[in-house]
Amino acid sequence: MEKSKIVLLGYMGSGKSAVAKHIARERNLIAIDLDSYIEQKEALPIRQVFAKHGEIYFRKKEYEYLLELLGEDTYDIISLGGGTPCYYDTMEQLNQHKGVVAIYLKTSIGELTRRLFEEKSERPLIAHLETKAQLTEFIGKHLFERNPYYQQATLTVLTDDKSPQEVAQELIARLA
């Protein structure tokens, strides 16, 4: 695998953080989750950043911190939040940044519903949804809105019926 910065994007539940950890472990690289980085920099959990400052502030900081990470040599792999690619000129920045490979972990609505339904209470964006049908509709609407951004990634990897380790192995092979 040639030296580049890998940026994983996709909808929540697509496996971005888990895949990043597997690639990092397999290739002795350093991974960072953008949300974790934001929490560290803001000294608040994401949920409280939203509550205290609002979404506009969060999206601005998310963009600034991503650009900061892209400019550093510290991290080899960055996993983004599901909405990160959809604000400002994020995808343009990723695609024009030398040495960055943006990878879309594409997951079907049905698979996302299956993965997210049991853990929805841990995810503020979907915690209020009570049924699988509601969750499916919510995900479908979001994917429709976000797809034009996700499709701008350098590579797309399908994640349905694959473990994070299998996705990581596929990515390692494709980037070799």
In this predicted model, what pLDDT tens digit does every residue of 138-150 receive, in sequence order?
A: 999 999 999 999 9
Q: What's the CA gap between 73 and 44, in Å, rounded?
A: 25
User: pLDDT (tens digit, 9 = 90+) per residue, 109-152?
Assistant: 999 999 999 999 888 789 899 999 999 999 999 999 999 999 99
| Whether the Cβ atoms of residue 9 and residue 107 lie closer than 8 Å to each other | no
Does residue 94 carry a pLDDT above 90?
A: yes
The model's pTM? 0.95
| Domain 5-169: CATH class, spelled out | alpha beta
Beta bridge partners of 65: none
In the chain, where the domains are located? 5-169
End-to-end distance of the chain based on CA atoms, in angstroms? 4
Tens of pLDDT, residue by residue over 157-166, are 999 999 999 9
Q: By the 8 A CB rule, do 1 and 172 touch?
A: yes
